[in-house]
Amino acid sequence: MNINILINKKIYLTPYNDVSINLEKNLEQKNISISGYIDKNKTGHNIFKESEILDYDYIIVASPNYWIEITKNIKNKIKIILFFSKLYNYMEYIQSLKEEIKYEKYDICFMPHNKAHALDLIPIIKQLQKTTTFNISFVDITKRYRDEGAKKEILQSNIHYIHIDILRLNLVIPKMFICMNTWDKNIAKPLIEYYNKINVITVGIIEGITDFTDVDYISKRNVYQNVHYVFSTGKNDLQYLNKKNCFIVGIPKMLKLWNKNKIFPKKIVIVINLSFLGLTYNDYGSIWLNEVINTCNELNLDYIISKHPNDKTDTKNFNVTDKTIYEILDEGSLLVSRFSTTILESIALGKPAVYFKPQPEKTTLYDNNFGAFSIAYNKEELKEKILYELEHKDNVRERANKFLDLQCNINEQIKPEVLATEYIREIIEVEEKK
């Protein structure tokens, strides 16, 4: 929109937050002044309740996650301006969302939070497109969540997608809603709760190895407990779920790794997976990383660090790769990681792994792994286990078969995307008969 229309106008910003404060400073640089802030929860100089504002030209809503709730109470929508990194006229923004809608009715909407989710969902969607007539769409949450690579994969897949705000505004109400992170408080959880109330079928697809007890997490996520149906990765998940509404499908990418030719580099390279986030011991990441790096140096082994985008560990003095974990697993000789699905991905690829368990970590899910990989509890054990796994690197898949079957359904002859497609079709048929 043309920002000059705001010059010499009576403008209020809402709510009072860091975003709106910074926006006011930016507007001042363009000779645009504001009359104050509107916030129902905060008080202070120049902060008003909505009922106190009787006259204005524009209200600028500076809250990407809560703008829908805020604008519901503003009667004159023509006077609303939305701020999502730049300014949008409210009515024009709503119209632009409507223009994204391709189908009169949407059967299934898939919502990935990150690149890994998108890569797992693409084979399922393509199988559905091949074998059904369902109207299917991806849901892009990048601008309301954060960019973790999902949008790039969606675009490359050429699968139709819609903006998350289209669902949040009820411009589209699908027959079935599917996602892999069901506990995200800002987007997934509220949407699932709402859909459960209005009889939209909700499905959670387990994204990988999952600690259902949340023993090491800051907050209790109650993973996959808030959806009607769950597609699990393997038999091990069933003990934590309602078996009646749970279907084992496996993980599409795991099967691809299992069938992929493994190639070891001529010179040994240790892949370090740094992934400390949402945990009661996030600050232990630096200690853990230094112990791994020191061990590699003592063994005179090269290493490469892969860091989760949301891990806050200070790595400014280390060389962290921009490559994906899958690329460096291909290039590496052995993986060292804390509790993570990456361990399963490494052994599925036929590359050995050492689970270096941080001292505060309480989960026991990997303790009985039937010799699929080694576990180290301290630096001396880490050195010993790295050497052991490198010596036995040629039979990783044989050692890992039983564990991966329990966790990922690896011995199932039917592909995960085919199983998922059949279950989706069956669920919709059953629900439509109710």
CATH number at residue 48: 3.40.50.720
DSSP characters over 336-400: EESSSHHHHHHHHTT--EEEE--TT----TTT--TTSSEEESSHHHHHHHHHHHHHTGGGHHHHH
Query: Span 30-38, mean pLDDT?
Result: 95
- Last residue in a domain, options 97, 128, 155: 97
Which CATH number is 202's domain given?
A: 3.40.50.2000
Looking at 97, 120, 141, which one is the last position of a domain?
97
| Confidence bin at 328 (pLDDT 50/70/90) | very high
CB < 8 Å & 24+ apart, contacts of 40-47:
40/15, 41/15, 42/15, 42/16, 44/16, 47/16
Model confidence at 264, pLDDT cuts 50, 70, 90, reads very high
**What is the C-alpha separation between 268 and 263, in angstroms, rounded?**
12
End-to-end CA distance of the chain: 48
User: What was the pLDDT predicted at 35?
Assistant: 96
- Which of 71, 97, 123 is a domain's end point? 97
387 and 365 housed in the same domain: yes
CA dihedral 168, 169, 172, 173 (to 10 degrees): 60
pLDDT one-digit tens code per residue, 85-131: 999 999 999 999 999 999 999 999 999 999 999 999 999 999 999 99
| 160/228 same-domain check | yes
Q: Is the pLDDT of residue 225 over 90?
A: yes
Per cent of the chain over pLDDT 70 is: 100
Lowest mean pLDDT segment, chosen from 118-122, 220-224, 290-294: 220-224
Query: Under 8 Å CB-to-CB from 217, ≥6 apart: which residues?
Result: 211, 278, 279, 280
Please say if the pLDDT value at position 133 is more than 90: yes
- What does 195-212 look like in DSSP terms, one character per residue? HHHTT-EEEEE--SS--T
269 and 167 together in one domain: no
- For β-strands 374-376 and 136-140, DSSP reports them as unpaired
In this prediction, residues 257-279 reach a mean pLDDT of 94
- Residues 47, 113: one domain? no
Whether pLDDT at 281 is above 90: no
Whether residues 83 and 116 share a domain: the answer is no
56 Cβ partners below 8 Å, 6+ apart?
10, 11, 12, 35, 79
Q: Say what the pLDDT of residue 312 is.
A: 92
Range of the domain at 192: 102-250+413-433
CB 22 within 8 A of CB 60: no
Average pLDDT of the chain to the nearest whole number: 94
Q: Are residues 43 and 117 in the same domain?
A: no
Tell whether 118 and 151 lie within a shared domain.
yes
pLDDT exceeds 90 at position 30: yes
User: Is residue 273's pLDDT more than 90?
Assistant: yes
Among 149, 130, 147, 150, smallest CA distance to 138 is for 150
Q: Which of 226-235, 254-263, 275-284 ranks highest by mean pLDDT?
A: 226-235
**Contact, 324 vs 163, CB < 8 A?**
no
Q: Do residues 263 and 402 share a domain?
A: yes
Looking at the structure, do residues 215 and 305 belong to the same domain, yes or no? no
Per-residue model confidence as pLDDT tens digits over 135-188: 999 999 998 988 889 999 999 999 999 999 999 999 999 999 999 999 999 999
Residue 330: Cβ within 10 Å count: 18
Is pLDDT above 90 for 252?
A: no
**Phi-psi sector, 267: left (phi>0), alpha (psi -120 to 50), beta:** beta
Bridge partner list, 235: none
Same domain, 108 and 61: no
pLDDT for 236 equals 92
Provide the token pair at 57.
């030209």
pLDDT at 319 over 90: no
Q: How many domains does the chain have?
A: 3
pLDDT of 244 strictly over 90: no
Same domain flag for 210 and 286: no
